[in-house]
Structure 1
Amino acid sequence: MLLVKEYQRLKEEENERLNLTWNLQRTLAKVNYKIHTDAIKENLIPQLLTKEKINFIYADEADLLNVALFGKTAKQWRIENQNATGNIRDEATIEQLVVLSNIESINAVLINKGITQSQRLEQLNAIAITQIKSLLGNINLEKLK
């Protein structure tokens, strides 16, 4: 009986650690998103737009990252996953969240350089593919799982 209880306790600790790791990565992606939104605000939003149009620009750029990484927009993902409680990013793997954080920062740099959205999408997709391939099987990330 003690062995079973100890096993259960260890499994609970392991699950807690995994959840904290995932939350850390999700938080990191959210923090980096501020860098991304600042670049959008400073470079892509013209003066005198309505709040609705400004929100559209932010959503459009968020979907640029979604398409570059996940291959679909948030709306497409919601249609495919109607029973999901979260959104596309809430359901992302640790590897995807690491890459998302990276491409948010890279996109901010590309926006500041004045690179068009279609060119940015191509570059970010290529970067996302390269980084995901590099991260899959990474021993350090495997330890977090």
Structure 2
Amino acid sequence: MSKNKIITVQNVTVTISSEELDDYICITDIAGVKSDQSRSADIIRNWLRNRSTLEYLSVWEQLYNPKFKVFESEHFKKQAGLLTFTPSVSEWIEQTGAVGLYVKRGRFGGTYAHKDIAFEFASAISPTFKLYLIKEFQRLKEEENSKERLEWTAKRFLSKNNYLIQTDAVKNYLIPKSNYKDNLEWLAYAKEADILNVALFGFTAKAWRDANPEMAGKSNVRDFATVNELTVLSNLETHNAQMIREGRDKKERFTILKDIAEYQLDILNEAEKIKIEEKEETEETV
């Protein structure tokens, strides 16, 4: 589900929608810089009928969208500049399979563009506005990253302390018996979070809840993860997002993520073991 955030750029309210792939910016809001909102659709149409715009969109789609229909996009380019050529964003999406633009209805409705494309659109509207838009967007991302770092630090601290008070017997009890890594029937219907769970822990969130019904209401499997596991999980999320952009299917992504998880976790655990041994040796010599 997308998450919407609002920024204000030169007294213009602009909506940013965080989608599964990346941030998308409402270019309907940006078009309001040039005229009132009632003419935003016309402004976007005029921008879309420009050959330079179509060239840019086509190249972007070919870089990030493996399902983009290049041949169909050529029909748009050939008509660029003609007085009778007034394409809509919906037509561009439907005929080419584009993902860089989309139209949202209802609340926060309008035409949204991937941030790369939105900045390009802003250039056509006002170069000055584009600079302020980029600056405000960067401020928002820095604010989000700062908050995420604080939350991550707190979670690592709490998770580490929580893990330290667990005995081996309790931890073994928490782990449900399963063969999810070998039997991939669950994968066809899996959500992205469970693909990561199985790649790292070896079982789904539901399997953990079923095995631990008393704990399920107040916590989840990630609350019992070690610092090393949380570190690997963060890396897996980044790798998975990139593979989604590349259009890789679930089975391929899961296989790669599982191998990454096993490899990174082994390295981190071994490094931690060596660090503990070195510390113990130092204490013995003191």
Distance 2:103 2:264 in 1: 36
Question: Structure 1 residues 60, 141: closer, same or farther in 2, change over 3 A?
Answer: farther
Alignment partner of 1:71 is 2:199? no
Q: In 1, distance between residues paired with 2:256 and 2:22?
A: 17
1:120 aligns with 2:253: yes
SS in 1 for 2:214: coil
Residue 74 of structure 1: how far off its partner (Å): 0.4
Distance in 1, Cα, partners of 2:246 & 2:240: 10
Residue 38 (structure 1) aligned with residue 20 (structure 2): yes
Residue of structure 1 equivalent to 2:238: 105
Q: 1:95 aligns with which of 228, 232, 240?
A: 228
State the alpha-carbon separation in 1 of the partners of residues 265 and 254 from structure 2: 16
Q: 1:127 to 1:72 in 2, by over 3 A?
A: same
Aligned residue identity for 2:208: W
In the aligned structure 1, how far is the partner of 2:271 from the partner of 2:193?
27
Counterpart in the other structure of 2:219? 86
**Residues 3-14 of structure 1: matches in 2 within 5 Å?**
none
Specify whether residues 39 and 138 from structure 1 end up closer, same or farther in structure 2 by C-alpha distance, changes over 3 A only: same
Q: Work out the CA distance in 2 between the residues paired with 1:72 and 1:98.
A: 18
Could you tell me how far 1:141 is from its partner in structure 2? 9.7
Deviation at 1:63, TM superposition (A): 0.6
From the two aligned structures, give the one with the greater strand fraction: 2
Identity rate, percent: 41
Change (3 A) 1:138 1:94: same
Shift of 1:90: 1.1
Choose 1 or 2 for highest CA Rg. 2
Counterpart of 2:221 in 1: which secondary structure? coil
Matched, 1:61 2:61: no
TM-superposed CA distance for 1:61, in Å, is: 0.6
Which AA in structure 2 matches 1:78? R
Q: For residues 104 and 142 of structure 1, do their structure 2 counterparts lie closer, same or farther at Cα, with a shift above 3 Å needed?
A: farther
Q: How does 1:13-52 map to 2 (within 5 A)?
A: 38-39=20-21
The 3-state SS of whatever aligns with 2:231 is helix
Runs of 4 or more above 4 Å deviation: 40-43, 140-143
- Between the aligned partners of 1:123 and 1:106, the Cα distance in structure 2 is 9
The alignment's TM-score, normalised by the length of structure 2, stands at 0.30
Q: Which region of structure 1 is more displaced relative to structure 2, 97-106 or 77-86?
A: 77-86
Report the count of equivalent residues.
Answer: 96
CA distance in 2, matches of 1:67, 1:102: 15
Equivalent-residue separation in structure 1 for 2:272 and 2:221 (angstroms): 25
Higher RCO, Cα 8 Å, sep 6+: 1
- Unpaired runs of 5+ residues, structure 1, are 1-36, 49-58
**Residues 141 and 39 of structure 1: CA distance in aligned 2, closer, same or farther (over 3 Å):** farther
Distance 1:73 1:65 in 2: 9
Question: Residue 52 of structure 1 aligns with which residue?
Answer: none
Residue in structure 2 matched with residue 136 of structure 1 by the alignment = 269
